Amino acid sequence: MPRKISTVERVVKARNRRQAKTGPEKELQKRHDADRKAKFDCLKKLKETGIWKSAPESLKQQLEDNALAQLWQERFDAKRSKEWYEKQLQLQEAQKEAVIATKKNMKQLARFWLRSPLSQLL
């Protein structure tokens, strides 16, 4: 039977996992936590309204979906969501790869030019 992990060990492992994360990973986790909190707050606020209390059960899921869709769109437009940050990281990575590819192409072109008979004419 596996040994149970104590609360202290669990806390220490969680702390070590947090410390091992890099800058972008930390930012992703912060945004993920903020998204979860925003979702919780949005649903809590919705359930306190009179519309929610008077709505039939069949309409409540639709109200919830609409409120969350609006929330996610607002967070994305305000550049605060995890999804937006992930897309920015992907764009940055693609730009880095494009720069690397361009540099490689330039080196290959330079090598070709130096080896070509045309370079001997100049």
pLDDT of residue 120: 60
| Domain contains 17 | yes
Maximal C-alpha separation, the chain = 87
Whole-model pTM: value is 0.64
> Which domain range does residue 91 map to?
7-121
Angle between helices 82-115 and 57-77 (to 10 degrees): 40
Render each residue's pLDDT in the chain as its tens digit; 122 residues: 567 777 888 888 888 887 777 788 888 989 999 999 999 999 999 999 988 889 899 899 999 999 999 999 999 999 999 999 999 999 998 888 888 878 888 887 777 766 766 656 55
**Alpha helix positions (H), 1-122:** 7-20, 23-48, 50-54, 57-77, 82-115, 117-121
CA 52 to CA 41: how far, in whole Å? 15
pLDDT of residue 100: 84
pLDDT of residue 111: 76
**How many structural domains are present in the chain?**
1
| Domain contains 107 | yes
| Domain contains 117 | yes
Q: Are 15 and 32 in contact (CB under 8 A)?
A: no
